[in-house]
């Protein structure tokens, strides 16, 4: 079984590979859950990234608006099976 730290690293690497470099600035781990995808056990890993047009001063100060994505990582192989936009619930 792939450990959580390895699964998170796989999700980050996948994001950096498929997304524009400007969209993978200041990646942060937000959530990790165990889930199921097509009958297989997976990690559901939510990462956030600073929006590309954000000023560097806002990124450094931690007040940049962020986009959230959930990555589905196979628990046995570490393969990233899916990447989805993560909508946040509004208060």
Say if strands 28-37 and 40-50 run parallel, antiparallel, or are unpaired: antiparallel
| pTM (2 d.p.) | 0.84
Q: What is the CA radius of gyration of the chain?
A: 14
Q: Which of 86, 73, 87 is nearest to 9 (CA)?
A: 73
| Model confidence pLDDT, tens digit, residues 58-91 | 656 666 688 999 999 999 999 999 999 987 766 5
* Burial (CB count <10 Å: 0-12, 13-18, 19+), residue 19: middle
| Model confidence pLDDT, tens digit, residues 33-65 | 999 999 999 999 999 998 876 566 665 666 668
**What is the average per-residue pLDDT within 13-26?**
91
pLDDT for 22? 85
Torsion of CA 39, 11, 32, 68, to 10 degrees: -110
**What is the average per-residue pLDDT within 4-17?**
97
d(CA 34, CA 2): 12
């Amino acid at each position: 079984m792939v450990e959580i730290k390895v699964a998170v690293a796989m999700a980050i690497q996948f994001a950096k590979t498929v997304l524009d470099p400007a969209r993978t600035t200041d990646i942060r781990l937000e959530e990790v859950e165990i889930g199921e995808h097509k009958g297989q056990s997976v990690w559901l890993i939510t990462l956030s990234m600073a929006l590309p047009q954000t000023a560097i001063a806002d990124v450094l100060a931690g007040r940049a608006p962020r986009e959230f994505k959930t990555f589905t990582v196979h628990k046995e192989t570490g393969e990233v099976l899916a990447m989805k936009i993560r909508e946040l619930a509004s208060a």
